[in-house]
Structure 1
Amino acid sequence: MNWSRRWINPVLDKEFRLRMRSPKSMLSVMLYIFALGFVAMGFIYITMYVDNGGNQRFNSGMSQTMFYVLGFAQLLMIAFMAPALTAGVISSEREKQTLSMLLTTQQSSATIILSKLLSSLSFMALIVVATMPVYSIVFLYGGISPQQVVYMFLFYLFIMILLGSLGVMFSTLFKRTMISVIVTYGAGIFIFLITGLLYLFFLSMWQQQYGGPTPSSSGYSWVGYILGLNPAGAMLSIFDSSFSREMFYVYGSTMQADAPIQLWLEFVIVYSVVIILSLIISIRKIRPVRRRKRNTSLEVITEEMTMERVDTDLHDK
């Protein structure tokens, strides 16, 4: 048996062919690479010629800063593209009236959901991997290890799975693609923006409560757990291991203690639960067979009771 038939089911094969062979896919990859390359070249130009008049060389310290800029720029691009690719995978099938035909195949609900998710994220993963030549500029000047680049791309993959699973779940729950896209972007705004604003809000309240950012009495700040829910804070903790300690222990002598948990580890643990729950809900809601069976059984019981009453009345007469 061919290995592709063993690992790629018909649903996944159809999605791969439709998504990868279109001219829009090639154009999307090209524009994405150009956009990220423009950010890299723009940073080098501003650093060397605008700020310093061309008198300063591009050293390893600037290269590390450019790596951070590229990392956050690509993180924002993923946040905008991943919901658009996944928020309509099920609702679009329902709008085209092809979902019922898909459900009548031998593919299980889990296979359909995972195939839709994998096909959408594979295109996004292709775009992200295609940007590797842009990051090669960083290695020309040093300051970044290959291990950091690998960790960052693995973090990108986790973000894509998170946003993709949320998009598939909302696409399964809502019948309209537009509504599922809006709700998915709303969830992304909460993860990327609201968690950061909540961290700043509670941090200011904590500092006012203890009389300033550096009070005399050392204290433990629980506010760091909120930042652990934000992708930017988790990514910074991957780049710098001491960042998590600074976010948890911001007061006095406790700076020497270790953080209770690394921000990236908290991020992965919490949102892994979100991913699993989202996929479970999607699998259960795409094929509402049990609910129909219960309604059918209640109708049968009601009809039987009615027939028994009619037979009893006829017998009495």
Structure 2
Amino acid sequence: MLRLNPVYQKELRTTARSLRTYVIIFAVNGLLSLFGLFALYLSFEYQQKIGNNVEYSAILEIYSIITGVEFFLLLLVVPAVTAGAISGEKERQTLEILLTTKLTPGSIIRGKLVASISMMLLLAFSSLPVIALVFSIGGITLRDLAEFLLLILETAIYLGSIGIFFSALLKKSTSATVAAYGTVLLLCLGTFGAVWGIHFLDQMHLNHAGDTVTAIQADIGNWMLLLLVNPIVTYLSILKGQASTGRTLASLYEKYGNLPEVLNEHWLLFSTVIQIVIAVILLLSAAAILNPLKGNKERIKHKKQNTKKKVANK
């Protein structure tokens, strides 16, 4: 029961009493409101002023803009919030005290992660009135909104596990933050770069080996699976299903490779499952790093081996 986790309760009280929390909520929702109202103005009022017809399908683009800004803020905020969760305790020299309590390393990790996710869920729910702008005209259903909120939760767990892992692995919050942002950058842009680079090399090979008159498009096939760990592609896949505005994902499929039909149709499901599995592995690894008995077990095992060798030599 996560609500009974003492670490979670302590972090929740600290967050609720902090002025920074309210400043972040105000800043995020203010930024989303500006983007939403500006997009609404460009789509309707501005089009009428210049004499163009108003297309009510543009409301889907407004939804894409608002959710895109919120998702981008999620990518920026979560690594920063979670990277100092454990390393901050090390710097304050309170981690050893925390480990002497009845809490297991896994409970500490879960408490820190859920506290960070709670902050992101608070931001997501507080932004619902801004996203509800699209309901003034139509085109987006409550089911679409619920799917987006679930994506926010899954991505927060995924990115949060990366920050927690480096926070447990490294001693300084600065180092953990740099490592977390570097990993997120690698997942978001590095996978795109890898897919583009592999396609570029294959295309060069085909252009030199094939007919120069007939253009042949390279197909990198299963290399496209690298994008399953990319949270941006997961977001584009949900847009493709909801508003048909995930053109980037569709162009990737058409230009870079052909995947099995089941993977094309259920990309969101496969990518979500893989990212959750990665998050679980990282959280278990972080708990193992924090385990104070790990070093003692290794020393005891080493002593037993030395004792057996001495007895065998005698």
Larger RCO (alpha carbons 8 Å, 6+ apart): 2
Per the alignment, residue 226 of structure 2 pairs with: 226
C-alpha distance 292-135 of structure 1, shift in aligned 2 (>3 A): same
Per the alignment, residue 315 of structure 1 pairs with: none
RMSD between aligned residues: 3.4
The SS at the match of 2:229 is: coil
C-alpha distance 223-130 of structure 1, shift in aligned 2 (>3 A): same
* CA offsets 1:53-108 (integer angstroms, 9 cap, x no match): 45346543111011111121111100000011100111111111111110111111
Matching residue within 84, 98, 118 for 1:102: 98
Question: What displacement does 1:159 show?
Answer: 0.8
The SS at the match of 2:139 is: coil
Per the alignment, residue 190 of structure 1 pairs with: 186
The SS at the match of 2:222 is: coil
Question: What displacement does 1:302 show?
Answer: 6.5
Alignment of 1:77-226 (within 5 A): 77-208=73-204, 209=206, 221-226=221-226
C-alpha distance 303-197 of structure 1, shift in aligned 2 (>3 A): closer
- The 1-side partners of 2:30 and 2:137 are apart by 21
C-alpha distance 245-109 of structure 1, shift in aligned 2 (>3 A): same
Counterpart contact for 1:220–1:249, Cα < 8 Å: no
- The 2-side partners of 1:148 and 1:51 are apart by 27
The SS at the match of 2:64 is: helix
Counterpart contact for 1:91–1:172, Cα < 8 Å: yes
Question: What displacement does 1:298 show?
Answer: 4.3
* CA offsets 1:174-229 (integer angstroms, 9 cap, x no match): 000100000000011112222222233334445553779x9579968435323333
Q: Could you tell me the TM-score, scaled by structure 2's length? A: 0.83
Residue 270 of structure 2 corresponds to residue 266 of structure 1: yes
**Structure 1 unpaired stretches of 5+:** 313-317
* CA offsets 1:224-282 (integer angstroms, 9 cap, x no match): 32333322322222232487676445599x89x83534332232132122101101111
C-alpha distance 58-23 of structure 1, shift in aligned 2 (>3 A): farther
Count of residue correspondences: 301
Per the alignment, residue 276 of structure 1 pairs with: 280
Q: Which has the larger radius of gyration?
A: 1
- The 1-side partners of 2:297 and 2:216 are apart by 66
C-alpha distance 259-220 of structure 1, shift in aligned 2 (>3 A): farther
- The 2-side partners of 1:189 and 1:234 are apart by 15
Q: Could you tell me the TM-score, scaled by structure 1's length? A: 0.82
**Structure 2 unpaired stretches of 5+:** none
- The 2-side partners of 1:130 and 1:299 are apart by 56
- The 2-side partners of 1:127 and 1:282 are apart by 26
Identity %: 24
C-alpha distance 59-136 of structure 1, shift in aligned 2 (>3 A): farther
